[in-house]
Structure 1
């Protein structure tokens, strides 16, 4: 079914239907869109009846919010479209992900309560543009502006403050001065918004295809105070503005962080978050030697703890939390690589990283690129060498090379004493390394490895 057929159904029923929001904006920008939203004067119940009587699938996304979904044929293939009853107001209770809405009587009432003028336009079934608040002109000017007074727009939904920065990032627009000042004044209202909604907007901002735009907008977020409102741990970073990090860096902690973000080589959300947070542990670890050299010993460990706290605050999934904390806590390991690393050390890095190895290397690449010369060029060369060795030494490191039951057998032989677990872990690690070196067969019977341990008891106590 097409938009023309949808329009025909509503005309036959004697009602109005409009394309609204992002799809209208993208049409004016001549950009492809997969975001089809429609607004109507029909109640959600009537919307469902019109669709079902025509043989279309219709399902409510929240009758109380006025939204019904169906499927429409688009240039990019079938897409879900949402049809929402006109609203004249919308607000969010503190911590809620769902709006409280009051249905309105006209398309203009619906448009003026939207977030920004560029999203407050509609197109009727004849292709006529309805633009009550100057959205088309703001698109031409490249401007993010609220359709009502900014404080009123943000009071209805404080997440709109964060969305202003996300749109500035994705569209390359500027935030209108009055709108920006209102964010600075009202930033604390963001605390009333559910953290899942925070994360949704930050994920999209951080993973923008142009990392330079992301870095530029993060600078604006800092200036507005909104970034520190959501991640107050950055206050310690900001207090070190202007402090040298030593000759390996071109600027202070925040400047280096933004440089690294702008040089992102991966669009992985986990890597993008890790770039933002990878040095957040530095302020509490700064020391200066007697000769004036600056160090941040242990900052990666401290940073991993902070990153985990941020991830929990933003309601990351367990898998996402583990990824972010691992990347931040281990971001220095590839940076410290030298050709003197043993094959075992290279394989250990791959084993420890597991499914996050590529993300860890991509994080290190961007971090290294944000260093001063000659450290950046030297680090780039060393990282390329590490990637080559990993391809050779650990092409399929995730596979099992020892029998699954071997660890249990060893624990039983040592008396199942939990204090023996570290010895068993060392033994298994050493046996795995010996298999990878070709000194022992892969996935042999447990007795093969047990006999080797009897002949070489030192395998329990040191790394091979």
Structure 2
């Protein structure tokens, strides 16, 4: 097999080879090349010790960043791109099921490969030797299997993050997880409590963006969902007792997620958390029908707790919470209503569009005969929103044809000016007047007289 390498990677490999050191690209870049997928990052492994790597490339005028010198990793900055070069090594004595405390530089590729996570990530390549497969990674790629290198239990006990990576690779590559690896994952899922919130968040984000159909099922079956997202696990087999909901809360959420193809991460987060408040708000009426008063509010509050736990940024948290709070807000397919709604959102068309998308995903997971009309309404609202965006109507105070000085000239002062501008804005949003200076001033004169 021949892999076309970027010029910078050629330079790195050639420099190391000319100085009598083994060097290969390894890991995800080789895996993706074999699968015919786009390659985003190139990692290089070499027999050269890190001090020598640093000297060789600094002598060439290349910026060398000691990103992980203790673990033999240097980052080379070439043509505004980063390339990690890591010395062959073995890892021992892991602390907190995450970090090796004893790193020993090795002389052979096989030693380095045997410390890695999954066989499909051990393939190495350079143009001289071609593709090197030392532990059966190519066979597992062909079988579409995620398999740990060596003893799966040992791999997960060493670094618990590998369990999330196994699940994520299964989702993104649509591979199955080999039986021994799966059994070890289920047995040691509790070790994920040792992993930092940021690492968990990043893997969770990648899973959501994978477009995999059964994200929640896979996480639940592995035991991971109960440990990391007990709020979502509570939905499992929770009957909604509603004619609108033929699926239990868990299935409903998963089906809604299946209708988020091409959605943004923020929209997917809103969909996956939109109903986590239902178990806490549900009651059955005398006819044994389920009701969920204020579940959007409770779901928003619980989602905020989950995202805070995982250290999401405030902008993401605020936007997701707004989408959840609005997921059961009934929109009306007429221009006046949509103007008002946009006005409440501060004229934020993108946010309004996201609210509609979250509602669409939610409704696609309901009883379809009953939900059909609601879905049609939402599609009409989308169309109206697009038309309004083309028209650019005034929806905020800043977009009015008048300002405080104009009202001051009419004799208004202090809080009267702010109230007056808001009165004008509401009239413009309602379509009672046009957003011209003459109409706005005429309207406020009549209103305050």
Task: Give me the TM-score of the superposition, normalised by structure 1.
Answer: 0.84
Aligned to 2:180: 178
Distance in 1 (CA, whole Å) between partners of 2:137 and 2:51 is 31
Q: CA deviation at 1:3?
A: 3.0
Runs of 4+ in 1 over 6 A off after TM superposition: 408-412, 443-450
Aligned to 1:103: 104
1:16-35 per-residue CA deviation (whole Å, 9 max, x = no partner) reads 11111011111221222122
Aligned to 1:168, which of 158, 167, 170?
Answer: 170
Aligned to 1:435: 428
Aligned to 1:236: 234
Aligned to 2:379, which of 377, 384, 392?
Answer: 384
Counterpart check, 1:269 vs 2:265:
yes
Q: CA deviation at 1:2?
A: 3.8
Q: Secondary structure at the match of 1:264?
A: coil
Aligned to 2:4: none
Q: Secondary structure at the match of 1:38?
A: strand
Gaps of 5+ in 1: 417-423, 456-464
Aligned to 2:24, which of 18, 25, 29?
Answer: 18
Distance in 2 (CA, whole Å) between partners of 1:54 and 1:125 is 22
Q: Secondary structure at the match of 1:58?
A: strand
Aligned to 1:44, which of 50, 58, 80?
Answer: 50
Aligned to 2:448, which of 451, 454, 458?
Answer: 454
Aligned to 2:246: 250
Q: Which stretch of structure 1 is more off in the superposition, 59-68 or 377-386?
A: 59-68
Q: Is the 8 A contact 1:89 1:113 kept in 2?
A: yes
Aligned to 2:225: 227
1:401-444 per-residue CA deviation (whole Å, 9 max, x = no partner) reads 346758x989974599xxxxxxx67x654431212325264578
Distance in 2 (CA, whole Å) between partners of 1:444 and 1:116 is 71
Q: CA deviation at 1:131?
A: 2.4
Aligned to 1:113: 115
Q: Which stretch of structure 1 is more off in the superposition, 391-400 or 317-326?
A: 391-400
Q: For the aligned residues, what is the CA RMSD?
A: 3.1
Aligned to 1:199: 201
Aligned to 1:9: 15
For these two proteins, the number of residue pairs brought into alignment is 432
Change (3 A) 1:190 1:451: same
Gaps of 5+ in 2: 1-6
Distance in 2 (CA, whole Å) between partners of 1:180 and 1:394 is 50
Change (3 A) 1:254 1:110: same
Aligned to 1:281: 277
Task: Give me the TM-score of the superposition, normalised by structure 2.
Answer: 0.86
Q: CA deviation at 1:8?
A: 2.0
Q: Is the 8 A contact 2:123 2:137 kept in 1?
A: yes
Q: Is the 8 A contact 1:4 1:125 kept in 2?
A: no
Aligned to 1:345: 337
Distance in 1 (CA, whole Å) between partners of 2:320 and 2:281 is 20
Aligned to 1:66: 72
Change (3 A) 1:398 1:163: farther
Distance in 2 (CA, whole Å) between partners of 1:411 and 1:253 is 55
Aligned to 2:326: 330
Q: CA deviation at 1:219?
A: 0.6
Distance in 1 (CA, whole Å) between partners of 2:358 and 2:129 is 47
Distance in 1 (CA, whole Å) between partners of 2:78 and 2:26 is 15
Q: Which stretch of structure 1 is more off in the superposition, 29-38 or 54-63?
A: 54-63
Q: CA deviation at 1:217?
A: 3.3
Q: Secondary structure at the match of 2:84?
A: strand
Q: Is the 8 A contact 2:423 2:444 kept in 1?
A: no
Q: CA deviation at 1:54?
A: 2.5
